[in-house]
């Protein structure tokens, strides 16, 4: 699957966060736009339920002003992700659903990477005292992640800047700064004109191997 702009492909997943005592957990649901890496929706609950997942998807769909047949949502094969409740909702909304391949552990890399960023934050606690503590932590984290985190996968731009179409102007401004710096001190750059990192033109889930792409092109011709 290929995304060339925001709100073409979302990926979603659920992770468990440790509660105040052993064997207690809270459940964090996160929906991520794979092109911009912007977290479009999240929710913390006491349990994992397909009905709660459906509610979050429905609310996020409305908030992002998605139209029927515009969006694909990718997920792994967890019970909530493959439930009839979620499947019927996606069908009603005109959303195409996609699931990871059976027995493949890395088919949802964007959600997995986002959860890793969350859990490797220096302030991430070993346990949360209450669901209010989790929600407060996540509120601060997702604000930072969307608005301040300069993501290496999107040219060191923030997810919010990419998601809402500000990337082109920011890259132009960076180029102007680099051009001025080079003109003033070319020796600092070994007389090689510096260029700002570009925003990827497309993002894949399960990108075909080059041979597969060539075969696919031949079949289309």
Q: What is the pLDDT of residues 140-191, one digit of tens each?
A: 999 999 999 999 999 999 999 999 999 999 999 999 999 999 999 999 998 8
Residue 134 belongs to domain spanning? 2-163
User: Is residue 53 a part of any domain in this protein?
Assistant: yes
pLDDT at residue number 170: 97
| Cβ-proximal residues to 153 (8 Å cutoff; 6+ apart), any chain | 37, 200
Distance CA 212, CA 187 (A): 45
For residue 21, what is the domain's CATH number?
A: 3.30.420.10
Helix (H) or strand (E) holding 44: strand 39-45
Non-local CB neighbours of 106 within 8 Å, separated by 6+ positions: 112
Whether the CB-CB separation of 66 and 7 falls below 8 Å is answered with: yes
Domain count, the chain: 1
**pLDDT of res. 220:** 31
Does residue 193 form part of some domain?
Answer: no
Q: Is residue 14 part of a domain?
A: yes
Q: Supply the pLDDT for residue 215.
A: 46
For the chain, what percentages of helix, strand and coil (3-state, to nearest 5) are there?
40, 20, 40
Q: Please check whether residue 151 lies inside any domain of the structure.
A: yes
pTM higher than 0.85, yes or no?
A: yes
In a domain, 86, yes or no: yes
């Amino acid at each position: 699957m290929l995304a060339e702009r925001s709100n073409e492909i979302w990926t979603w997943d659920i992770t468990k966060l440790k509660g105040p005592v052993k064997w207690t957990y809270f459940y964090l649901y996160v929906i991520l736009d794979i092109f911009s890496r912007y977290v479009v929706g999240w929710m913390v609950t006491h349990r994992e339920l397909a009905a709660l997942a459906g509610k979050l998807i429905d609310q996020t769909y409305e908030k992002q002003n998605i139209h029927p047949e515009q969006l694909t949502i990718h997920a792994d094969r967890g019970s909530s992700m493959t439930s009839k409740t979620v499947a019927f909702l996606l069908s009603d909304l005109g959303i195409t659903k996609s699931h990871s391949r059976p027995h493949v552990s890395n088919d949802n890399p964007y959600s997995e990477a986002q959860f890793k960023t969350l859990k490797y934050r220096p302030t991430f606690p070993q346990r949360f005292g209450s669901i209010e503590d989790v929600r407060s932590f996540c509120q601060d984290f997702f604000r930072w992640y969307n608005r301040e985190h300069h993501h290496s996968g999107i040219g060191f731009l923030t997810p919010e800047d990419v998601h809402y179409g500000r990337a082109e102007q920011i890259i132009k401004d960076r180029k102007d700064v680099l051009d001025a710096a080079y003109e003033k001190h070319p020796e600092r750059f070994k007389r090689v004109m510096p260029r700002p990192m570009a925003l990827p033109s497309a993002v894949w889930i399960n990108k075909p191997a080059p041979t597969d792409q060539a075969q696919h092109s031949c079949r289309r011709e």
